[in-house]
């Protein structure tokens, strides 16, 4: 009996030793020195993966008017031995443009290769402006502004074709009805996004009666309604660029608010306002079906050589579109409005764009705008931001 027990214990010991060898061998095989990162699959991991697959996310940034005065392009010319180099003007904000999945710009001035560069009141900007905007990460360009016809029909056609050659997404102006029928749209992270644009003013200029070119205007509400409806049939999200309102006023006009309500009811999910050259409020419009539309009435200037304190503060609107891949429902999350500062020294020297959170009191104390706005300071910018923008978006 003792002999059998001894044999039995010996067998048990052998089994234990083999088990230990297997365990330690398994541990050795999971060492990172073979270049493989092992993560145990748990219920929590599986749940996170399933949750990620249920939702698709797209991050956005939108900024205001890229208003290229002659001082800006002359400085760019001075920095280049052949052509124009705009990189110094935008370097300090480039990372914030490149970071989101999609970045949207209001290209205030046209870029016509058929005309000489020109300044206010009839703008035409160097092609290098477009190159720089693409280089720093802009994806979508509203080209329907009050300056779209500064170089006439020929200038607008040239500008449209310039962006087409760059495979950039533009909205608001089209070569003809066939061109307009192809609603600007792309798919990002499984979310289909459509872009529409319009302008309220053309500074009294108009296209020839027999022109096939289309510049979408706010007064043509029938066209706007139809375009949004058509876009909604194919896209998950419709973003509308609205060039509207009164210049240099922080309060939206009644016409802006009324049209925003209509755009929202027709199906717009986000409305990005530009033109006033100063910032205006951000708010949600709740539609009768419960859907919410985000409206930024004006993002002010992205860059300019204007000369009053309020016009030095523009805005960057960041937000995320979240799509429920089961129901198709869309939600807007992480909406934030942050300041963008146009800075220059005495005599408009070295015009540059800064994020407000990277701007300093030292820079503000040397700003050339002090000659026109004597109380300009870093605190001035923050006070203005907090006065205009609801704190829920800051």
pLDDT digits (tens, 9 = 90+) for 122-151: 999 999 999 999 999 999 999 999 999 999
The mean per-residue pLDDT over the stretch 347-358 comes to 98
Which is it for strands 185-188 and 191-199: parallel, antiparallel or unpaired? Answer: antiparallel
Kindly state the helix (H) or strand (E) to which residue 153 belongs, with its residue range. Answer: helix 152-165
CA distance 164 to 170: 8
Q: What percent of the chain is modeled with pLDDT above 70?
A: 87
CA distance 213 to 215: 7
> Could you tell me the CA-to-CA distances from 18 to 6, 13, 23, 25, 128 in Å, in that order?
19, 9, 9, 10, 71
Judge contact between 101 and 140, C-beta under 8 A: no
- Cβ count within 10 A of residue 367: 23
- Cβ count within 10 A of residue 175: 15
Q: pLDDT tier at 49 (50, 70, 90 boundaries)?
A: low
CA distance 164 to 291: 34
The predicted model scores a pTM of: 0.88
The pLDDT value recorded for residue 53 is 84
What token pair was written down for 92? 């300090």
Q: Residue 360: pLDDT above 80?
A: yes
CA distance 58 to 212: 35
Alpha helices in 211-369 (DSSP H): 221-234, 254-266, 361-365
Whose tokens are 């978006």? That residue is 393
Three-class SS of residue 112?
coil
Three-class SS of residue 141?
strand
Q: pLDDT tier at 23 (50, 70, 90 boundaries)?
A: very low
Q: Residue 47: pLDDT above 90?
A: no
CA distance 146 to 359: 30
Kindly state the helix (H) or strand (E) to which residue 54 belongs, with its residue range. Answer: helix 43-54
CA distance 328 to 55: 9
From first CA to last CA, the distance across the chain in angstroms is: 83
Whose tokens are 């365990």? That residue is 23
- Per DSSP, the chain holds a count of helices (H) and strands (E) of 12, 16
The pLDDT value recorded for residue 12 is 43
Fold of 55-393: Purple Acid Phosphatase; chain A, domain 2 (3.60.21)
CA distance 181 to 212: 13
CA distance 291 to 255: 22
The pLDDT value recorded for residue 350 is 98
DSSP string, 16-39: HHHHHHHHHHHHHHT-GGGS----
Closest CA to 308 of 387, 381, 386, 201: 381
Which of 56-94 are b and which e, b meaning 16 or more Cβ less than 10 Å from the residue's Cβ? bbbbbbbbbbbbbbbbbbebbbeeeeeebbbbebbebbe
Residues 68-88: tens digit of each pLDDT: 999 999 999 999 999 999 999
Q: How far is CA 40 from the centre of its chain?
A: 38
Three-class SS of residue 285?
strand
The pLDDT value recorded for residue 51 is 61
Residues in the chain: 394
CA distance 388 to 250: 7
Which residues sit opposite 239 in a β-bridge? 195, 270
Which residues sit opposite 194 in a β-bridge? 185, 238
């Amino acid at each position: 009996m003792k002999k059998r027990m001894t044999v039995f214990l010996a067998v048990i010991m052998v089994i234990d030793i083999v088990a230990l060898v297997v365990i330690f061998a398994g541990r050795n095989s999971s060492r990172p020195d073979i270049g493989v990162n092992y993560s145990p699959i748990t219920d929590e991991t599986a749940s996170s993966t399933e949750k990620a697959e249920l939702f698709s996310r797209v991050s956005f940034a939108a900024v205001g008017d890229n208003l290229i005065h002659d001082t800006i392009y002359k400085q760019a010319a001075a920095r280049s031995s052949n052509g124009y180099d705009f990189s110094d003007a935008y370097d300090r904000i480039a990372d914030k443009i490149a970071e989101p999945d999609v970045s949207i710009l209001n290209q205030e001035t046209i870029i016509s290769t058929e005309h000489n560069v020109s300044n206010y009141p009839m703008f035409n900007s160097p092609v290098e402006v477009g190159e720089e905007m693409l280089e720093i990460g802009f994806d979508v360009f509203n080209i329907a502004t009050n300056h779209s016809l500064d170089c006439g029909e020929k200038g607008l056609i040239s500008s449209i074709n310039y962006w087409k050659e760059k495979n950039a997404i533009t909205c608001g102006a089209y070569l003809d009805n066939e061109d307009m029928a192809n609603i600007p749209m792309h798919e990002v992270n499984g979310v289909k996004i459509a872009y529409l644009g319009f302008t309220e003013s053309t500074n009294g200029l108009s296209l020839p009666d027999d022109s096939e070119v289309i510049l979408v205007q706010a007064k043509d509400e029938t066209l706007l309604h139809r375009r949004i409806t058509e876009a909604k049939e194919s896209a998950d999200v419709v973003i509308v660029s609205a060039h509207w309102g009164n210049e240099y006023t922080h309060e939206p006009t009644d016409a802006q608010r009324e049209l925003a309500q209509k755009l929202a009811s027709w199906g717009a999910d986000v409305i990005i306002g530009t033109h006033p050259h100063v910032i205006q409020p951000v708010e949600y419009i709740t539609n009768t079906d419960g859907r919410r539309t985000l409206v930024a009435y004006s993002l002010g200037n992205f860059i300019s050589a204007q000369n009053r304190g309020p016009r030095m503060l523009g805005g960057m609107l960041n937000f995320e579109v979240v799509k429920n891949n089961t129901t198709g429902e869309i939600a807007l999350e992480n909406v934030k409005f942050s300041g963008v500062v146009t800075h220059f020294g005495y005599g408009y020297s070295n015009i540059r764009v800064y994020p407000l959170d990277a701007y300093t009191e030292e820079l503000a104390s040397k700003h050339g705008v002090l000659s026109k706005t004597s109380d300009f300071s870093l605190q001035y910018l923050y006070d203005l931001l907090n006065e205009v923008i609801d704190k829920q978006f800051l």
